[in-house]
Amino acid sequence: MAKSEKLLTSELLIGADLLKDASCGTIEHIYPATAEVNGLVTLGGKTEVDQAVSSALAAAKLWEDTSPNERRDRLGRLAAVVEAWKEDFGTLAAAEIGMPRQAFSGRHSFALDWIRTYQGWADKVGGDITATSSSDRLEYTRLEPYGVIGIILTWNSALLSLTMKIPAALAAGNTVVVKPSEFTPYTAILFGKACLEAGIPPGVVNIVPGGVEAGEALVAHRQVDKISFTGGVKAATAMMKMGAPLIKPFCFELGGKSAHIIFEDADLELAAKIICSGLSNAGQSCTFGSRIFVHHGVYDAFKQILVSTAERVQVGDPLDLRTVMGPLFSQAARDRVLSMIETASSNRSGRILTGGKAVRLGAPFDRGYFVQPTLFDEVDPCSALATEEIFGPVMSIFQFMNEDEVIASVNDTDFGLSNYVHTNDLRRAIRVTSLVKSGTVYVNDATRQNVGAPFGGFRKSGIGYEGGRPGLEEYLRRKTVGLA
C-alpha cells in the first residue's frame, strides 16, 4: 500500500501551529488502489476557518510590506523545497488518489514551473502613469493586493492546483486560507510545511482541510476579499449565490467537455497517442479530451488505431513506474462512471468498442477502483455520454464530413475549457483554432507547456485566468491616485 506513517499525518496549519484536532472530527481516508483505510483526515469547520482568517489578517500587513525582492526570493526557496521533497509529494499523490508515479513526475515539474514563474513576477508588480490635461497634475495607478484570498481546491491534482494559485496570490502580496479537498489533505499540509521551510512567514499560508462547512464559511467570511476555486459548476453556482450579498469577486476554474478534431491529413498514430495520454490520471482532468471527432476519410482507420492504443494502456499499481493509469479516486467515482457506461450501453446511446468494465487485478489490488479505458462509437450527440463531463477514462468517437460541421459540433456544449486540433495544414490550423470557442486550443498536442500563457475557460468552464500576467492580476486591485 502507498502508505507512510510520517506523511499521512492529519493536521491543519493555522499560522505556525499544526493542529491535530478540529471541530468537525475525522473521517477515514481510503487508498483507492486497494480500498483499504490508509489514514484519518481531521476536518476543520467554521471555527477553524475563522481562526485561519484571523491568522491571515494578522500576517497581511507584514507580507504586503515585505519588499518585492524578498517575496521573490522566498518563492524561489519554496520552489527549491518542493523540488527537494519530490518523493514525498509523489508518495502522497499515489496514496491520496492513486495517481501513478509516471503521471506525477510531469505534474511535479509543471508545479515547479508555476512557482518559479510567479517568483519571477513578484518584483514586477507596477502601475501606470496616466495622461492628464494639465502639466501641473499627476495621475497614476497602483496595483495593490486584495488582502486575504480564500482558495478552495478539488482533489484530482493536488500539488499542481496548489501551485497554480498560491504562488500568484503571494507574489501579489496577499495572504491565503486554503481549503483543500478532504480527499487530498496530506499534500496540502506538506505544501504548507514547505512554505514555512522556505521562510514564508507564519500566517501567510494557512491550510484548513474540510468539507462543505469549511468551504461555506470561507466564502461567506466578510474578511475574505476574494475566492479562487477549482471544481464543479454546481459548487461554483452555490458560491456565487452565497457571495452575492458581499459582492465578493471570484476566480473559477471549472469543468470541460473537451474535444479532439482529427482531420484527414493528421498523423493518426500521434493523434491516438496524444488522446490516450489524457488517461494518465484515469481521465480525471477538466481538460481531458473525451469527445473525438474524426474526418470520414480516415474514420475507420483511426478508430482501429485508437482502440489498439487504448488497449495497450497499462492499468495497475500507482507505485509501479510502468503503470500509465491508476484507479479512480473513490468507490463513488468508480460506481458513477460504470453506471454511465452501463446506461449508455443499455439505452443504445453508444456502442462500446473497447473497455466498459471494472479492471480485476490480483491482490492487494483486487478491491481497487480500477476501470478499463473505454471507447464508444455510434454515440447519440444529445446523450449524457456526449454532453456531460464524465471525469473518468471514457471517450466517444464521432464522424464528420467538413470543417463547418465539426466546428458546430465542437462548439455545441455548455463548456469551453480546452480543445485540440490535429492537422498538418497550417492554414487550416489557424482557421479552425480561431473558430473553436474555448479558452485554450492546442494543435497536434494536448499538453500545456507554458505557464506564462493564461489558462481559463469560456461559458460554464470558468471565470478569470491562471497563468502568466493575467494570473497575477487576478490577485491585484487597481487604485488611481491623482496629485494636483
Which residues are known catalytic residues?
Answer: 253, 286
Query: Who's near 243: CB < 8 A, 6+ residues apart?
Result: 219, 220, 227, 250
- Cα distances from 410 to residues 134, 257, 376, 452, in angstroms, run 53, 9, 17, 27
Nearest of 359, 341, 361 to residue 350 by alpha carbon: 341
Q: What is the DSSP letter of 200?
A: P
Query: Who's near 18: CB < 8 A, 6+ residues apart?
Result: 11, 12, 189, 193
CA distance 285 to 304: 25
Q: Hey, what amino acid is at 72? A: R
Nearest of 350, 264, 346, 359 to residue 311 by alpha carbon: 359
Phi, then psi, of 424 in degrees rounded to 5: -110, 15
At residue 256, the 3 state secondary structure works out as: coil
Q: What is the DSSP letter of 135?
A: T
Nearest of 204, 197, 140 to residue 171 by alpha carbon: 204
Phi, then psi, of 437 in degrees rounded to 5: -95, 85
CA distance 236 to 209: 18
CA 387 to chain centre: 20
Are residues 280 and 324 in contact, defined by beta-carbon separation less than 8 angstroms? yes
CA distance 303 to 377: 9
**331-333-334 Cα angle (round to 5):** 65
CA distance 122 to 171: 4
Tracing cell 492554414 back to the chain, one arrives at 427
